[in-house]
Amino acid sequence: MIENLLNEKYPFQLKKLDYPYNSLEPYIDEETMCIHHNKHLATYINNLNSILSKNPEFQNFTLGELIKNNILLPASIQEGVKNNAGGVFNHNFYFKIMTPNKEKSNIAIFEHIILKNFNSTEEFLNTLFQVALNRFASGWAWLTIDTNKNLHIISTANQDTPYSANLYPIMLIDVWEHAYYLKYQNRRNDYINNFFNIINWSQVKKNYENYIFSC
Ligand code: MN
Protein backbone atom coordinates (compact mmCIF):
# COMPACT_ATOMS: atom_id res chain seq x y z
CA MET A 1 0.00 0.00 0.00
CA ILE A 2 2.70 2.50 1.04
CA GLU A 3 4.91 1.68 -1.96
CA ASN A 4 1.91 2.16 -4.27
CA LEU A 5 1.32 5.60 -2.80
CA LEU A 6 5.01 6.52 -3.16
CA ASN A 7 5.12 5.33 -6.78
CA GLU A 8 2.36 7.64 -8.00
CA LYS A 9 3.34 10.26 -10.58
CA TYR A 10 2.16 13.51 -12.08
CA PRO A 11 -0.63 14.32 -12.78
CA PHE A 12 -1.78 13.35 -9.28
CA GLN A 13 -5.49 12.64 -8.84
CA LEU A 14 -7.93 12.60 -5.97
CA LYS A 15 -8.93 8.99 -5.40
CA LYS A 16 -12.24 7.83 -3.95
CA LEU A 17 -12.09 6.61 -0.38
CA ASP A 18 -12.58 2.91 0.40
CA TYR A 19 -15.51 3.79 2.70
CA PRO A 20 -18.31 6.42 2.83
CA TYR A 21 -17.63 9.79 4.48
CA ASN A 22 -20.18 9.05 7.22
CA SER A 23 -18.95 5.55 8.04
CA LEU A 24 -16.42 6.60 10.70
CA GLU A 25 -19.09 8.23 12.85
CA PRO A 26 -19.35 8.83 15.76
CA TYR A 27 -15.54 9.02 15.96
CA ILE A 28 -15.03 11.30 12.94
CA ASP A 29 -18.02 13.12 11.53
CA GLU A 30 -19.12 13.15 7.90
CA GLU A 31 -18.54 16.87 7.35
CA THR A 32 -14.95 16.70 8.61
CA MET A 33 -14.22 13.69 6.42
CA CYS A 34 -15.75 15.32 3.36
CA ILE A 35 -13.91 18.62 3.75
CA HIS A 36 -10.65 16.90 4.72
CA HIS A 37 -10.67 14.68 1.64
CA ASN A 38 -12.50 16.74 -0.94
CA LYS A 39 -11.02 20.14 -0.03
CA HIS A 40 -7.78 19.81 1.97
CA LEU A 41 -6.31 16.81 0.15
CA ALA A 42 -7.60 18.09 -3.18
CA THR A 43 -5.76 21.38 -2.57
CA TYR A 44 -2.44 19.61 -1.91
CA ILE A 45 -2.94 17.63 -5.12
CA ASN A 46 -3.80 20.74 -7.16
CA ASN A 47 -0.86 22.69 -5.73
CA LEU A 48 1.60 19.89 -6.47
CA ASN A 49 0.27 19.48 -10.01
CA SER A 50 0.50 23.22 -10.52
CA ILE A 51 4.18 23.34 -9.46
CA LEU A 52 5.05 20.38 -11.70
CA SER A 53 3.11 21.75 -14.66
CA LYS A 54 5.57 24.67 -14.64
CA ASN A 55 8.59 22.40 -14.07
CA PRO A 56 8.07 19.58 -16.59
CA GLU A 57 11.59 18.16 -16.08
CA PHE A 58 10.39 16.79 -12.70
CA GLN A 59 7.10 15.31 -13.92
CA ASN A 60 8.82 11.91 -14.14
CA PHE A 61 9.68 11.90 -10.44
CA THR A 62 7.55 9.61 -8.32
CA LEU A 63 5.85 11.04 -5.25
CA GLY A 64 8.45 9.20 -3.15
CA GLU A 65 11.31 10.77 -5.10
CA LEU A 66 9.78 14.23 -4.76
CA ILE A 67 9.65 13.69 -0.99
CA LYS A 68 12.95 11.87 -0.39
CA ASN A 69 15.07 13.74 -2.97
CA ASN A 70 13.65 17.18 -2.30
CA ILE A 71 17.18 18.58 -1.98
CA LEU A 72 17.84 17.79 -5.67
CA LEU A 73 15.06 20.14 -6.80
CA PRO A 74 15.61 23.83 -7.64
CA ALA A 75 15.64 25.92 -4.46
CA SER A 76 12.67 27.93 -5.74
CA ILE A 77 10.31 24.91 -5.62
CA GLN A 78 11.79 22.87 -2.73
CA GLU A 79 9.47 24.28 -0.07
CA GLY A 80 6.35 24.05 -2.22
CA VAL A 81 7.09 20.47 -3.25
CA LYS A 82 7.97 19.45 0.31
CA ASN A 83 4.69 20.78 1.72
CA ASN A 84 2.42 19.59 -1.07
CA ALA A 85 4.04 16.24 -1.94
CA GLY A 86 4.12 15.55 1.80
CA GLY A 87 0.49 16.64 2.04
CA VAL A 88 -0.53 14.26 -0.75
CA PHE A 89 1.36 11.25 0.65
CA ASN A 90 0.44 11.82 4.30
CA HIS A 91 -3.25 12.24 3.53
CA ASN A 92 -3.52 9.29 1.13
CA PHE A 93 -1.82 7.22 3.85
CA TYR A 94 -4.11 8.63 6.58
CA PHE A 95 -7.31 7.81 4.68
CA LYS A 96 -6.03 4.24 4.10
CA ILE A 97 -5.15 3.70 7.76
CA MET A 98 -8.70 4.34 8.99
CA THR A 99 -11.53 1.84 8.67
CA PRO A 100 -15.17 1.44 9.76
CA ASN A 101 -14.57 -2.34 9.85
CA LYS A 102 -14.68 -3.52 13.49
CA GLU A 103 -12.64 -6.66 12.83
CA LYS A 104 -9.83 -4.77 11.10
CA SER A 105 -9.74 -2.12 13.83
CA ASN A 106 -9.20 -4.69 16.60
CA ILE A 107 -5.78 -3.95 18.08
CA ALA A 108 -5.37 -7.63 18.98
CA ILE A 109 -4.30 -8.11 15.34
CA PHE A 110 -1.13 -6.11 15.98
CA GLU A 111 -0.61 -6.84 19.67
CA HIS A 112 2.15 -9.45 19.34
CA ILE A 113 4.26 -6.91 17.44
CA ILE A 114 3.56 -4.15 19.98
CA LEU A 115 4.67 -6.46 22.79
CA LYS A 116 8.05 -7.02 21.12
CA ASN A 117 8.71 -3.30 21.56
CA PHE A 118 6.67 -2.11 24.53
CA ASN A 119 5.89 -3.51 27.99
CA SER A 120 2.16 -3.44 27.35
CA THR A 121 -0.45 -2.31 24.85
CA GLU A 122 -1.53 0.35 27.37
CA GLU A 123 2.01 1.75 27.48
CA PHE A 124 2.14 1.77 23.67
CA LEU A 125 -1.21 3.58 23.32
CA ASN A 126 -0.32 6.03 26.06
CA THR A 127 2.96 6.91 24.34
CA LEU A 128 1.16 7.34 21.02
CA PHE A 129 -1.46 9.51 22.73
CA GLN A 130 1.14 11.74 24.40
CA VAL A 131 3.22 12.20 21.25
CA ALA A 132 0.11 13.09 19.22
CA LEU A 133 -1.22 15.39 21.93
CA ASN A 134 2.10 17.21 22.42
CA ARG A 135 2.85 17.89 18.73
CA PHE A 136 2.97 21.68 18.85
CA ALA A 137 0.71 23.38 16.29
CA SER A 138 0.21 21.36 13.08
CA GLY A 139 1.70 17.99 12.23
CA TRP A 140 1.49 14.23 12.50
CA ALA A 141 2.12 11.44 14.99
CA TRP A 142 3.68 8.32 13.46
CA LEU A 143 4.39 4.71 14.20
CA THR A 144 7.64 3.90 12.41
CA ILE A 145 10.27 1.17 12.09
CA ASP A 146 14.03 1.73 12.15
CA THR A 147 16.60 -0.26 10.15
CA ASN A 148 17.00 -2.66 13.11
CA LYS A 149 13.26 -3.42 12.88
CA ASN A 150 12.37 -1.68 16.14
CA LEU A 151 9.19 0.38 16.45
CA HIS A 152 9.39 4.10 17.23
CA ILE A 153 6.62 6.61 17.91
CA ILE A 154 7.55 10.08 16.68
CA SER A 155 5.91 13.25 15.45
CA THR A 156 6.67 15.56 12.54
CA ALA A 157 5.71 19.19 11.91
CA ASN A 158 3.57 20.46 9.04
CA GLN A 159 3.61 17.93 6.16
CA ASP A 160 7.05 16.49 6.96
CA THR A 161 7.51 12.70 6.84
CA PRO A 162 9.72 10.29 8.86
CA TYR A 163 11.84 9.45 5.80
CA SER A 164 14.19 12.36 6.54
CA ALA A 165 15.01 10.65 9.88
CA ASN A 166 15.58 7.35 8.07
CA LEU A 167 12.47 5.86 9.66
CA TYR A 168 9.88 3.85 7.73
CA PRO A 169 6.27 4.80 8.55
CA ILE A 170 3.55 2.18 9.11
CA MET A 171 0.80 4.25 10.81
CA LEU A 172 -0.01 7.93 11.31
CA ILE A 173 -2.44 10.32 12.97
CA ASP A 174 -3.25 13.73 11.53
CA VAL A 175 -3.19 16.28 14.36
CA TRP A 176 -3.72 19.37 12.23
CA GLU A 177 -6.78 21.17 13.61
CA HIS A 178 -8.61 20.64 10.30
CA ALA A 179 -8.68 16.89 11.12
CA TYR A 180 -10.85 17.38 14.20
CA TYR A 181 -11.88 20.99 14.87
CA LEU A 182 -15.49 20.88 13.57
CA LYS A 183 -16.44 18.10 15.98
CA TYR A 184 -13.90 18.39 18.79
CA GLN A 185 -12.93 22.11 18.69
CA ASN A 186 -9.84 22.44 20.91
CA ARG A 187 -10.18 18.93 22.41
CA ARG A 188 -7.37 17.21 20.54
CA ASN A 189 -7.22 14.65 23.38
CA ASP A 190 -10.79 13.46 22.66
CA TYR A 191 -10.08 13.23 18.94
CA ILE A 192 -6.97 11.10 19.54
CA ASN A 193 -8.75 8.76 21.94
CA ASN A 194 -11.61 8.33 19.48
CA PHE A 195 -9.18 7.83 16.60
CA PHE A 196 -7.93 4.71 18.40
CA ASN A 197 -11.31 3.09 17.57
CA ILE A 198 -10.89 3.37 13.80
CA ILE A 199 -7.23 2.49 13.18
CA ASN A 200 -6.95 -0.26 10.58
CA TRP A 201 -4.58 -2.53 12.54
CA SER A 202 -4.91 -5.17 9.85
CA GLN A 203 -3.36 -2.69 7.37
CA VAL A 204 -0.74 -1.55 9.93
CA LYS A 205 0.32 -5.18 10.37
CA LYS A 206 0.61 -5.56 6.58
CA ASN A 207 2.71 -2.40 6.40
CA TYR A 208 4.96 -3.78 9.15
CA GLU A 209 5.35 -7.16 7.47
CA ASN A 210 5.99 -5.66 4.04
CA TYR A 211 8.92 -3.74 5.50
CA ILE A 212 10.27 -6.51 7.73
CA PHE A 213 10.17 -9.16 5.02
CA SER A 214 11.55 -6.90 2.28
CA CYS A 215 14.93 -6.39 4.02
MN1 MN B 1 -5.04 16.79 7.20
How far, in Å, from the CA of 33 to the mean position of ligand 1?
A: 10
How far, in Å, from the CA of 132 to the mean position of ligand 1?
A: 14
Does the global pTM surpass 0.95? yes
How far, in Å, from the CA of 207 to the mean position of ligand 1?
A: 21
Quick one: pLDDT at residue 215?
54
Percent of the chain with pLDDT over 90: 98
For residue 36, how many other CB atoms are within 10 A of its CB? 22
The Cα–Cα gap between 103 and 155 comes to: 27
Confidence of residue 214 (pLDDT cuts 50, 70, 90): confident
The Cα–Cα gap between 148 and 22 comes to: 39
Over residues 81-115, the pLDDT tens digits come to 999 999 999 999 999 999 999 999 999 999 999 99
How far, in Å, from the CA of 213 to the mean position of ligand 1?
A: 30
Quick one: pLDDT at residue 22?
98
How far, in Å, from the CA of 54 to the mean position of ligand 1?
A: 26
Over residues 36-71, the pLDDT tens digits come to 999 999 999 999 999 999 999 999 999 999 999 999
Give the contacts of 215 (CB within 8 A, at least 6 positions apart). 149
How far, in Å, from the CA of 175 to the mean position of ligand 1?
A: 7
Calculate Rg over the CA atoms of the chain: 17
> Can you spell out the DSSP letters for 126-180?
HHHHHHHHH--SSEEEEEEE-TTS-EEEEEEETT--GGGGT-EEEEEEE-SGGGT
How far, in Å, from the CA of 116 to the mean position of ligand 1?
A: 31
Q: Which residues keep their CB under 5 angstroms from ion ligand 1?
A: 174, 176, 179
How far, in Å, from the CA of 91 to the mean position of ligand 1?
A: 6
How far, in Å, from the CA of 215 to the mean position of ligand 1?
A: 31
Over residues 116-149, the pLDDT tens digits come to 999 999 999 999 999 999 999 999 999 999 999 9
Quick one: pLDDT at residue 213?
86
